[in-house]
Amino acid sequence: MNAVSRLCGLALALTVTFPAHAAEGGDAMSRLKPALGNTIVSTHPDGRKARLWLDAAGGYRAQGRAGERSAGVWKIKDEKLCLSQRRPLPIPFSYCKAIPDERVGKPWRDKAVNGDMVMNEIVRGADGASD
């Protein structure tokens, strides 16, 4: 598998993004709570959707807009959510974004790692989270 293929899984998870701004004050974990046990959906300009599921134990699963799956771990560092991919291939670095002050059903715009402007939304439930 070449380097581009190896990074593909990370790009899947990173397609789902968080806004560059975080709410002033408050605890990062409390801002992240609405996403736990729910689904973060990012809709790309072509209408395809990427999904990210964060669990309270510090793991994540993701499905890219083409249906590819990846998984790894997350942590909060310097008030940011940092994702580290473990599957399908381990990536030796983390990707961090500010944690939004968003709630279920309240969409926000952001730029995905691939440069697309996406519309993100936390949707109730974790349908599709299982591999």
**CATH code assigned at 19:** 2.40.128
Is 130 a domain residue?
Answer: no
Average pLDDT across the chain, whole number: 79
Which range of residues forms the domain containing residue 103? 3-123
Is 131 a domain residue?
Answer: no
CB atoms near residue 58 (< 10 Å): 11
pLDDT digits (tens, 9 = 90+) for 111-126: 887 888 999 999 988 8
Report how many domains make up the chain: 1
pLDDT digits (tens, 9 = 90+) for 25-37: 347 788 888 889 8
Using the 8-state DSSP alphabet, how is residue 100 labeled?
Answer: P
Looking only at the bridges linking them, the beta strands covering 49-54 and 59-63 are antiparallel
Examine residue 34 and say whether the peptide bond preceding it is cis (omega within 30 degrees of 0).
no
Lateral strand order in the sheet of 69-77: 95-98, 80-87, 69-77, 59-63, 49-54, 39-43, 117-123, 108-111
Tell me how far the alpha carbon of residue 49 is from its chain's centroid. 12
